[in-house]
Amino acid sequence: MPHIFLIFCLIWIQAAAQVGQPPELHIKTSSGIINGKYNNTAQTVRGFIGVPYAEPPVGRLRWEPPRPKSPPSHPIDAFSFSNPCAQVYTYSNESIWSILPYKIWNAANMSEDCLYMNIWAPSTKHHSKKRKAAVMMFIHGGSYASGSGSVSYYDGTNLVQDDEDIIAVTFNYRLNIFGFPNSPGLDPKKQNLGLLDQRMAIEWVHMNIGNFGGDPNRILLFGQSAGASSADLYSYAASTSLKKFDPLVSAFALHSGTAPLLLSPPDHENWNNLSTDLGCDIGKRSHYCMNQIPAMRIVETRAQGNYNFYPVVDELLVFSDYVARCDKGQLARLPTLAGMTERECSALVPLNQVSVNMTEIYEVGRFRYNSHRIRVRHNVTTWRYLYHGNFSSLSLTTWLGAYHGVTPAEIPMVFGTYNFSSASSTSIEVQASKYIQGAWTSFAKDPLTGLRAYGWPQYRFNGVDDKLIVIEPTLINIAFNNTIPAVLSSAPWDHSCKDVIVQRSEL
């Protein structure tokens, strides 16, 4: 009897806590009732932070495909960021990341229980009520080894507050050996757990976002670095003969990454090396042993050696022949916005070895594989950009410029979080952010014509020779010399897809 009374009291307390709270803060989803809160004093943005989209992949589920979250018997309070996925992200004193402003919220509590998302949606005060809001769903980068949807610069409050009828979504997915184990003890078709997590998150948003005021038919999937690579991998997987793989999204935006950026052959080499260092030997028998070892011991041991866990070629979600697929147009033919930063790899150079030539060579080989050119050949509506902004609040040294990395120079400009830095923002930086936000939200709301209406020309070319595709001036240079609006150009950024792949393979 006392036990029943206690349960009754808890239910009464929960119900009482919701008295007076607007219905728009209590949303029914496939994961259960989600309680949110207003994320700003004007009560124009609702935050649902730490929403579970899958069952925790712990215990026997550690290296299993994600499973849908079963609704609990009580509402879920989505008031704070979840644990980031298990990782190590410390940097040496010679790394630029040791001085750049970067923070994962709740970083002290890395955990395998990390499959959560964050949703920022307009309140009834802010929604135009003309139609449901477009959705901007972001995949974080970090070389598939680190990062989180709770990085401070990915906070969606300003993006939603500053732009009418937009919903922002970020989420976690399993990383490093937990997301891409390449284990000899697993089904070859179930090695890309991190990509399967991403797919489940997209399915969750498509299924539930309408209850938050979003339009499931207007979901922009965008990402940076490994996140952009993930989105591009997704576009190719969606083109397979698997009838069940409906893209569920309406457009892609690729920030400094394409499908073949970081891939692993199905050779189990990294797994075997790491499992040996952990005392678990190699081969199928190592899998059970590794499943008994605490997650943070695994990632810390990995951080001490040279082990890379990237998406594994399985010919289902990840392919070995992207060049051929590129040429054949075997990808989801959805509108695409693709680009990079002017100095992609300046942040990867040690602080005591700054070299412009080094960064330029690395940039050409690493990121100029222009799959978006192939999209145009197959009549896919495409836009290209190059971000040049060099603002002191984000680029803390003048030589760093528009860099690439865990927190790249242009992402805070898209989210409107440039002011999260300790350094002051200039009026030009504020204008640049508003300009960039205007472009990205226009694309999210209307992928086919939104950027054209914004004044951006579609990417197109007018001829080909043996070494160089002759391009019309349709490259949008954003924040060139820290000025607004954008400047159009073509050369010297355009090289043939074939030449760039050769350069990349030589690095």
Between CA 56 and CA 69 the distance in angstroms is: 8
- CA angle 438/396/137 to nearest 5° reads 35
Q: What is the DSSP string of 435-491?
A: HHHHHHHHHHH-TTTHHHHTTPPPP-EEEE-SS-EEE-S-EEEETGGG-SS-EEEBT
Closest CA to 439 of 425, 452, 458, 426: 452
Q: Residue 482 CB: number of other CB atoms within 10 A? A: 14
Structure tokens at 224: 């940076």
- Please enumerate in sequence order all residues whose Cβ is within 8 A of that of 307, keeping only pairs 6 or more positions apart, or say none: 177, 270, 273, 274
Q: Is 404 a catalytic residue?
A: yes
Of the residues 112, 342, 344, 429, only one is catalytic, namely 344
- Please enumerate in sequence order all residues whose Cβ is within 8 A of that of 385, keeping only pairs 6 or more positions apart, or say none: 337, 338, 339, 439, 475, 476, 477, 478, 486
Backbone φ and ψ of 451, nearest 5°: -75, -30
Residue 343 one-letter amino acid: R
Q: Is 344 a catalytic residue?
A: yes
Residue 246 one-letter amino acid: D
- Please enumerate in sequence order all residues whose Cβ is within 8 A of that of 52, keeping only pairs 6 or more positions apart, or say none: 31, 69, 76, 82, 115, 116
- Please enumerate in sequence order all residues whose Cβ is within 8 A of that of 322, keeping only pairs 6 or more positions apart, or say none: 236, 259, 260, 371
Of the residues 150, 225, 250, 442, only one is catalytic, namely 225
- Please enumerate in sequence order all residues whose Cβ is within 8 A of that of 108, keeping only pairs 6 or more positions apart, or say none: none
Query: Which neighbouring-strand residues pair with 27?
Result: 34
Q: Is 225 a catalytic residue?
A: yes
- Please enumerate in sequence order all residues whose Cβ is within 8 A of that of 483, keeping only pairs 6 or more positions apart, or say none: 428
Are residues 102 and 2 in contact, defined by beta-carbon separation less than 8 angstroms?
Answer: no
Q: Which residues are catalytic?
A: 225, 344, 404
